[in-house]
């Protein structure tokens, strides 16, 4: 059942990306181009995601049955570290250059979009390289 729910979540996420137009790299680049022809669509998608997450977190924190099934982060620990800042910067630079982040890039594989066919393998190479260079266990 858990795998079915994961698959349903993935399909919903992919459908949301397609419906919102976020699988089109020009929409992302348009959002990042504040000095030119700025496209605010991504801000609305992000806002919807933040609101959905916040509501889900409120429901999770209010339910003892759900708390037992999910591991919530320890908020007393410092969540910001050097590795996180460097990783975020690399992610943002790649996102700005390619117009893709991992979700939309993978969704674009289905359409055989040439940019995605180049981006996704290189993204995977970068992920493996980061794991090996930083000694990450995930």
**pLDDT, tens digit, 9 for 90 and up, residues 5-56:** 889 988 888 888 888 888 888 888 888 888 888 889 889 988 988 999 899 8
Question: Is 117 within the bounds of a domain?
Answer: yes
Checking if the pLDDT of 137 tops 70, the result is: no
Is residue 104 one of the residues assigned to a domain?
A: yes
Task: State how many domains the chain has.
Answer: 1
Q: Which of 116, 51, 71, 80 is nearest to 89 (CA)?
A: 80
Q: What is the secondary structure of 10-44 as a DSSP string? A: HHHHHHHHHHHTTT-HHHHHHHH-TTSS--THHHH
Question: What is the arithmetic mean of pLDDT over 109-129?
Answer: 88
54 part of a folded domain: no
């Amino acid at each position: 059942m858990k795998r079915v729910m994961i698959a349903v979540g993935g399909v919903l996420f992919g459908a949301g990306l397609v419906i919102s137009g976020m699988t089109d790299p020009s929409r992302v680049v348009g959002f990042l181009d504040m000095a030119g022809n700025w496209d605010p669509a991504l801000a609305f998608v992000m806002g919807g995601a933040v609101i959905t997450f916040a509501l889900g977190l409120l429901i999770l924190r209010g339910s003892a049955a759900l708390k037992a099934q999910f591991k919530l982060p320890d908020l007393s620990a410092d969540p910001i570290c050097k590795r996180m800042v460097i990783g975020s910067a690399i992610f943002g630079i790649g996102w700005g250059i390619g117009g893709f982040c991992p979700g939309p890039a993978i969704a674009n594989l289905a359409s055989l979009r040439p940019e995605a066919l180049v981006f996704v393998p290189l993204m995977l190479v970068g992920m493996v390289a980061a794991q090996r260079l930083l000694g990450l266990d995930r």
